[in-house]
Amino acid sequence: MNIPEQIVQKMSEYHVVQKEYHDCGVGTMQMVRNMMRLPCLAYNDLSRMLGASEQIGVSSWRMTRHLRFAGVRHRERDGMPMRRLVRGLDDGFVYVVSYQQVADGDREVGPPGQYVWDRNSVSLQHPDHIDGHYSLVFAASPETIWCADPAMDYALVGLPRGIRPIPRRMFEDRWIDMDLDDGKILDHWAIELA
């Protein structure tokens, strides 16, 4: 691990497991609330406030609205270059991101050197073909993006519960989604948290 262990442990302490497959946005916002030391909200109440639904999950605009009403300093970024994300992480920012979900066992390259997954696999014209997912990105090393993933109710070997390392190249390829509420393309989209 190329990042300080105390950062990984602290993010694991903020970790919340999403309750339904479609409410990663609720789990992520609950982690943000924990990290910012905001008053605790019941998970179901936060889900209602964010308008979570089976059809669309949670819309990005509802997340930014929730942060604004909660008084959390943030900045929405679209088209964010990877180097800007890494620089922000180095400066101590944490990011809510929406990307194509990474499952354990996914590989960046398969035999013989071909992608197992790439951004061409995402069909933004057919929302059923995408698997958008919100997480909190909190650190980067030269080869890895580190996130607190609300879909993880377990620990990977050698890491605390809820912490997922993603190869940087894989993350960058998958850093695209569609907001199903309004059809907005979330390409290299993030909410920067101060």
Share of the chain above pLDDT 70, in %: 84
Question: Rounded to an integer, what distance in angstroms lies between the CA atom of residue 99 and that of residue 189?
Answer: 9
What would the mean pLDDT of 138-155 be, rounded to a whole number? 93
pLDDT of residue 107: 46
User: From CA 148, how far away is CA 160, in angstroms rounded?
Assistant: 10
Domain around 47 = 5-193
Per-residue pLDDT of 106-129, as tens digits, reads 444 444 443 344 444 444 554 544
**Can you tell me the distance from the alpha carbon of 77 to that of 46, in angstroms, rounded to the nearest whole number?**
23
**Lowest-pLDDT choice from 25-29, 58-62, 126-130:** 126-130
Which residues have C-beta within 8 Å of that of residue 49, sequence separation ≥ 6?
A: 41, 66
CATH of the domain at 9: 3.90.70.10
Quick check: 131 pLDDT over 80?
no
Report the DSSP pairing between strands 163-167 and 176-178: unpaired
Per the structure, the count of domains in the chain is 1
Dmax of the chain from CA atoms?
51
What is residue 85's predicted lDDT score, i.e. its pLDDT?
97
CA separation, residue 189 to residues 1, 74, 81, 145 (Å): 26, 13, 9, 15
pLDDT tens string 77-107:
999 999 999 999 999 999 999 998 866 554 4
H-assigned helices in the chain: 5-14, 24-35, 43-50, 60-70, 82-90, 168-174
Which has the closest alpha carbon to 19: 54, 49, 70? Answer: 54
